[in-house]
Amino acid sequence: MAHVTFIHGISNKPAPDELLAIWRRTLGEATEALPLGDLGVTSSLVYWADLMYEKPDDNLAAYEGVLENTPAAIDASGDAEFPQARTPAEAVFLQSMRRRLTTLSDAEIDASLGSSAPAGLAAAAVLERVPLPWVLKKPLMAVLLRDVHHYLFDVEFAPPGKAPVRIRRTIRERFVNAIKAPGMSAPHVVVSHSMGTVIAYDCLKRAVGCPGVDGLITIGSPLGLDEIQDQLQPEWTRADGFPGLCVRDRWFNLFDRLDPVCGFDPELGNDYRKSGAAVVLDQAVGNTGAWRHSATKYLRQPAFVQALRSLLKV
């Protein structure tokens, strides 16, 4: 029986069973429907939002991709705070990642939040690399920088009321255990979104004891960014970055060029080669609306459904 292991990306999320149900339902209702249950395909979810946020988000509608006017609807829920660098290397990383998102200083951001000028997407697009009003963009920046930083630098962290854990170590354990879980038969495919693509790649390429899977799909992935690639060394190299020991079939990478998380460098084939050859199958798609990073928008794409079908052989 074929199996799909999903892993989510940045921001707080609904409870694990609710998020998995949303994603399965999205596939079943896509234009080229892929009803996993009817096809006998089982699925599971690597969930890590509980390590970063106090409680799950109960605004389920936002994760169906139907709204774009709340932080949850743009993957920015959870009231994250901007991370603080502990070392010079972390400071360089955070400064460089921030420059990817904005050219404004903290003072200019605060001034923008207090004015009416940036309230519309069109006005923001003229001035900023990520065309969102600042009332939404500021929490997005905090979430993205905090979640990525804490994972890549294995920060010890806990939201209110929970015991602190090493973030990367704990998420790696969850991912490896999910891939090792009994009862799964081939083909086994990992579908990862956003920061989840960094986690999936890190585990498949760098985590000791991670078993192999048959295929990998990344959607809205920031793996093309130099800042992230620098943190994946020495196991990652441009000439031999493909996780060939753990991905037996193909790696599909879907992106929207207007997706602010991956749009700076969305194609991965040239950065994750296999013995010098470009083997990652990059494919551009066009999501709808102002917020192009939504997981459910990617899951509805015919190109995504076709890629998953080909790997699951259904």
Q: Classify burial at 106, counting beta carbons within 10 Å of its beta carbon; exposed 0-12, middle 13-18, buried 19 or more.
A: exposed
Residue 99 located in a structural domain: yes
Among 155, 183, 212, give the residue marking a domain's end.
155
Mean pLDDT, all residues of the chain: 90
Supply the pLDDT for residue 129.
Answer: 59
Claim to verify: residue 93 and residue 133 sit in the same structural domain: yes
Claim to verify: residue 45 and residue 174 sit in the same structural domain: yes
Claim to verify: residue 167 and residue 151 sit in the same structural domain: no
Give pTM, 2 decimals. Answer: 0.92
Among 139, 155, 171, give the residue marking a domain's end.
155
Q: How far apart are CA 180 and CA 184, in angstroms?
A: 8
Claim to verify: residue 105 and residue 214 sit in the same structural domain: no
Claim to verify: residue 205 and residue 226 sit in the same structural domain: yes
As a 3-state breakdown, the chain gives helix, strand, coil percent values, each rounded to 5, of: 40, 10, 50
Claim to verify: residue 180 and residue 286 sit in the same structural domain: yes
Q: Which two tokens stand for residue 109?
A: 């951001």
Claim to verify: residue 228 and residue 298 sit in the same structural domain: yes
Q: Which two tokens stand for residue 220?
A: 């809205």
Q: How far apart are CA 212 and CA 294, in angstroms?
A: 27
Residue 69 located in a structural domain: no
Asked if residue 45 lies in contact with residue 7, where contact means CB atoms within 8 angstroms, the answer is yes
158: region left, alpha or beta (phi > 0 left; psi from -120 to 50 alpha): beta
Residue 39 located in a structural domain: yes
Claim to verify: residue 191 and residue 276 sit in the same structural domain: yes
Helices and strands counted in the chain (H then E): 10, 8
* Number of residues in the chain: 314
Number of separate domains in the chain: 2
Where is 227: in which H helix or E strand?
A: helix 226-231
Supply the pLDDT for residue 1.
Answer: 80
Claim to verify: residue 170 and residue 214 sit in the same structural domain: yes
Claim to verify: residue 96 and residue 148 sit in the same structural domain: yes
| pLDDT by position in tens, the chain (length 314) | 899 999 999 999 999 999 999 999 999 999 999 999 999 999 999 999 999 999 999 988 888 866 777 888 889 888 899 999 999 999 999 999 988 887 776 677 667 655 543 344 334 433 455 667 777 888 888 999 999 999 999 999 999 999 999 999 999 999 999 999 987 878 999 999 999 999 999 999 999 999 999 999 999 999 999 999 999 999 999 999 999 999 999 999 999 999 989 988 999 999 999 999 999 999 999 999 889 999 999 999 999 999 999 999 99
Claim to verify: residue 169 and residue 41 sit in the same structural domain: yes
Q: Which two tokens stand for residue 314?
A: 């259904």
List, for residues 22-39, the tens digit of each pLDDT value.
999 999 999 999 999 999
Our CA angle for 312, 196, 241, nearest 5°, is 80
DSSP-assigned states of every residue in 16-75 = HHHHHHHHHHHHHTSTT---TTTTT-EEEEE--GGGTSSS----GGGGGT---SSTGGGT
Residue 127 located in a structural domain: yes
Q: 266: domain CATH number?
A: 3.40.50.1820
Q: Could you tell me which of 277, 307, 285, 314 has the C-alpha nearest to residue 216? A: 307
Task: Tell me the residue range of the domain where 28 lies.
Answer: 3-64+163-312
Claim to verify: residue 97 and residue 34 sit in the same structural domain: no
Residue 282 located in a structural domain: yes
Among 155, 177, 195, give the residue marking a domain's end.
155
Residue 202 located in a structural domain: yes
193 three-class SS: strand
Supply the pLDDT for residue 212.
Answer: 94
b/e per residue 268-285 (b: at least 16 CB within 10 A): bbebbbbeeeeebebeeb
